[in-house]
Structure 1
Amino acid sequence: MAIKSRNISADGKREMTINEFKMWMKKFDADKDGKISRKELAEAVYVSGGWFAKLKAKRKIRNVDSNGNGYVDESEFKNLVEFAEKHLAVRILHF
């Protein structure tokens, strides 16, 4: 489940639009409930080459999950974008 994008920037980050990022994240939504769980986020970190994926996901989902329900839903997607730019070697292109 590699990240597909048009460009890789000079700093090695994969560049994608917000829609491309949403489509990529949906691939990790194993139960198709429209939310990303800690386990699903850990898989995204692991696939993008992150070390200690489960630990990172457990710690960082607290920052992303603003309502504290253990999932990242559509209303928290902005937080997920910020997480991705810091921890998934992704740059979101805003047009």
Structure 2
Amino acid sequence: MAIPHRAPEDTRLMNLEEFKKLLKKFDANKDNKISKEELQELLRSHGKHFSGWKSKRALGHADANGDGYIDENEMINLVEFAKKQLGVTVVAK
């Protein structure tokens, strides 16, 4: 059985600042960092299955300093994740 994926025409385009704003909408405690749980909520809101597993993998990939959070400087590391999991393509301004 093939797993369906989003076609390119379903992809939303946004610049990096818009992408950061999207992430910050899920910053529940307003600490300017995204936790695994906050990332998981973002995935759930987009109807994604296995949100706990996917958020853990994304955090492991994006969290360059290993503190367990994605801060402002690390958000760029989520661009490929957003393309695959959220149907969002981040483009240059």
Question: What is residue 89 of structure 1 aligned with on the other side?
Answer: 87
Gaps of 5+ in 1: 1-8
Name the amino acid aligned to 1:11: E
Name the amino acid aligned to 2:52: K
Runs of 4 or more above 6 Å deviation: none
Question: What is residue 4 of structure 2 aligned with on the other side?
Answer: none
- Structure with bigger RCO (C-alpha 8 Å, 6+ apart): 2
Question: What is residue 47 of structure 1 aligned with on the other side?
Answer: 45
Instruction: Flag the structure with higher helix content.
Output: 2
- In the alignment, is residue 60 of structure 1 matched against residue 58 of structure 2? yes
Q: Deviations over 1:17-72 (max 9, x none)?
A: 21211111111000000000000001111112211111111122111111111100
Equivalent residues of 1:36, 1:73 under 8 A apart: yes
> Normalized against structure 2, the TM-score is what?
0.82
> Normalized against structure 1, the TM-score is what?
0.81
- In the alignment, is residue 20 of structure 1 matched against residue 18 of structure 2? yes
Q: What number of residue pairs does the alignment pair up?
A: 87
Percentage of matched positions with identical amino acids: 46
Name the amino acid aligned to 1:16: M
More displaced 10-residue stretch of structure 1: 51-60 or 30-39: 51-60
Supply the RMSD in Å over aligned alpha carbons.
Answer: 1.6
